[in-house]
A and B are shown apart, each in its own frame.
Chain A
Amino acid sequence: MNRTLEQILPKVQKPARYTGGEYNAVVKDRREVDLRYALCFPDTYEIGMSNLGCRILYGVMNQEKGVWCERCYAPWGDMEEAMRREGLLLYGLESGDPIADFNIIGFSLGYEMAYTNVLNMLDLAGLPLRSEDRPQLTPLVVAGGTCCYNPEPLAPFVDFFVLGEGEEVTLEYIELYRQAREECWTKEEFLQEAARIPGIYVPSFYEPVYHSDGTLAEMRIQEGSGAPERVTKRVVQDMDKSYFPVKTIIPSTEIVHDRVMLELFRGCIRGCRFCQAGYVYRPVRNRSPQLLAQYGKAACEDSGYQEMTLSSLSSTDYPCLLELCDDLLDYCAPRDIGLSLPSLRADTFSMNLMERLQRVRKGGLTFAPEAGTQRLRDAINKNLREEDLMQSVRTAFAGGWSGVKLYFMLGLPTETDEDVRGIADLARKVYFAWRECTPNKARGVRITVSTSWFVPKPHTAFQWDAQIPVEEYQRRVDLLRDELKRDKSITYNWHDPQTSYLEAIFSRGDRRLADVLERAWEQGAKMDSWSEYFDFDRWMKAFQDCGLDGDFYAHRERGREEVFPWCRIDPMVTTDFLWHEREKCYQSQTTPDCRTRCSGCGANRLLKGGVCNG
């Protein structure tokens, strides 16, 4: 271990985050690898290590001969300070070598508030932030993850973005890089070739051209670059043939999701109109239950974990869920291994399933009705009926559960005060259901209502809509708080509006926001999803310094014909479909789920044969 690091570590909090060496961490012989890859997650170790996507890519890359993929996370403030003071550059956890010397540096982008950490990590690595200031082929800086469906705010910093699922395309661009290095291509030459790989967006080949009112006129393709009109996202065709991390790193210190994560399927059949994941992860592709049971058991054996979670966008929509649960429980129950489902839809949550899970351990229950009235739930296509929710909580309470969390959003398109009050009504109905059904009144009940401020996202039916102004959001919070203040068994939490405002700006922002990001970072912004570090005034100052207005991005309704910063990105769900969904919202009309009837979104075109297996 590096001497400097050895001297720093005793002085920082939770040093085990910075050492590597965990069980199953991959250490290769430097002399036997020709490609070093730093898989970076722009948040702390505890958060980054909980990301299933990164575990998959780590496994996929390290299976390859000659490729050594290492992990890298954002150091906490005390560690960063020590590293800067001692001149220790950001390093890969496995080798301790500086990532600036690696061939490829890849970032996983899951949420906008981590953007400043990307800049901070590049700086800690000792690299120039902007792509144009890194003229050499090596190291390449790439990014993938859900945020890349609008990559523009980070465009100047990243050499290319990867759209969609990374299992295949990662190996393709690694191969291309090897060829480029072999044949001494320039970075420009490499990027031109990379842009031909489906799923790769090279931002420097697209130049934003603006109208005088600040809206986009076009994303102009650089002449002669050969960059495609639209970059189509990548998907894995057959989930049964895709890599699953059975043997994966078991951290020696606690992380957020410290358990076996079993990914049942990708995509979601539901089509909630606000949900970016629901649209961009289409089409639905299931893993077979036999294979999943086998993976789940093997992963428990290899990890020693005492907990397993079934993780997918809407796990209860998995067609063979009962069969799978039974199979897994036969294994888990005698071994005291807990089995949990993090995402429940109240409508499919049957007594049957609950009893199965209860056989081992009883956790809390979380439902996300998202809106308080049936009218608004229909408008956002959250096809959840109040009767179903009530039926589910009655079952749960009768079964002895005594805590329910209910998640809602405020500021959804078409929301009225009646909808806001509807949240309080629904929570009260849940409370009465408890009184009616609980076998043990003395134990009491915990009902938690949480609201967030709706953030319109790219590639959703609401990509044209405005986020409501902050004063209006605050008014609706106050209205709901007032409604609930007499109910002692109901706790109300609401999300602080400042980060949601910034999310709204950056999720639909254009390339000009890169200057704001850099400015905010220069002024000390980092770890913006952590209240210890977040400073709203610093951000407002950065907007001012750059002459940009956040409201233009967050609170402005867009017209049907507006050119979006993400117009070159194609998740294969058509704009016409999204617009049609939006119109149906304003008429409070629902769209059935994919399994009931195909709504023709276009994502089926991603599959060979053109038929989804929803």
Chain B
Amino acid sequence: MADRLLFSKTGRARYISHLDLMRTFQRAFARAKIPIKHTEGFHPHPFVSIALPLSVGYSSQCEILEFGLLEGTDPLEVPERLTAAMPEGITVHQCYPAQRKLKELAFVNYIMSFEYPEGRPQECEPALAELLGRESLVVQKKSNKSKKGYTEVDLISLIREWSAECQSDAMAVSMVVSAQNPGLNPELIRAAFCETYPQFSPQFVSFHRREILDQEGKIFR
């Protein structure tokens, strides 16, 4: 099986798009002089694949990239050497041979920070609880495959658990949601909240991917 990297993407690097990030990794491996496997075919290129694409603007401390390490490089050296060849904000933590299949990756834990610089309304937490406590919450989601241009998803069925922690000017919502097939982008939750409770709309919401989990809710690597 392939090799994996565990890396984080924070700060300025949050705004690097998925495709740009793959290109950045390909170049960074070359810069760090870490030879990796190439694709076969007419235009061979270094093979890299990111397990769960992250939306532009989100930060993460648990990104996984698959690639193939060629002989001659000690995997233990990879994190340090690769991080040195990266743009600011990308830190490689681990390099290891894959043990489990990517499809076992079932859930993602996101932290959504609802920011209210002018003071958090008391009722925003109960409002969120009301919304997420419903039987179902069907929203429209953009889709290129559907003829209508969108598909309908029930957010409630994709949320495994959530909790909120409140401060005077913010509400931090920790949420464990389905990772893939289908995955849930927490932006949809923000949008549904702001639509249902416009009076509690925060000025800004930031998104952070904190952990990836398997079906049992254990950390996936």
Contacts and interface: CB of A to CB of B under 8 A. Distances in A.
B89 A23 contact: no
Question: Which 4 residue pairs spanning A and B have beta carbons closest together?
Answer: A304-B27, A21-B12, A304-B30, A21-B88
A21 B11 contact: yes
A10 B87 contact: no
Interface string B10-39: 011101110011011011111101000010
Interface centre among A10, A14, A15 (most CB of B within 10 A): A10
A252 to B, nearest CB: 5
A133 to B, nearest CB: 34
A339 to B, nearest CB: 16
Interface in B176-221: 203-204, 206
Interface residues of B, number: 30
A250 B11 CA distance: 18
B67 to A, nearest CB: 14
A17 B52 CA distance: 23
Contact of B15 (A7, A19, A301): A19
B27 A9 contact: no
Contacts, number: 73
A15 B15 contact: yes
A303 B20 contact: no
A1 interface: yes
Interface string A16-27: 101111110101
B174 to A, nearest CB: 20
B164 interface: no
A21 B17 contact: no
B56 interface: yes
B57 A15 contact: yes
B17 A16 contact: yes
Interface in A297-343: 301-306, 336
Contact of B88 (A18, A25, A250, A336): A25
27 contacts: A6-B204, A7-B203, A7-B204, A10-B57, A16-B15, A16-B20, A18-B15, A19-B15, A20-B88, A21-B11, A21-B88, A22-B87, A22-B88, A23-B27, A23-B85, A23-B86, A27-B88, A250-B27, A252-B24, A253-B16, A254-B20, A301-B33, A303-B27, A304-B27, A304-B28, A306-B45, A336-B38
B47 to A, nearest CB: 13
Interface string B74-107: 0000000000011111000000000000000000
Interface residues on A, range: 20 to 34
Contact of B31 (A20, A253, A302): A302
Contacts of A250: 27, 31, 87
Given A302-B31, A303-B31, A304-B26, A21 B87 contact: yes
A336 B40 CA distance: 13
A21 B15 CA distance: 11
A10 B203 CA distance: 13
Interface of A: 1, 6-7, 9-10, 14-16, 18-23, 25, 27, 250, 252-254, 301-306, 336
Contacts of A15: 15, 56-57
A252 B13 contact: yes
Nearest to B57: A10
B110 to A, nearest CB: 15
B41 interface: no
Given A7-B204, A15-B57, A304-B85, A252 B16 contact: yes
A281 to B, nearest CB: 32
Given A1-B11, A10-B57, A15-B56, A23 B31 contact: yes
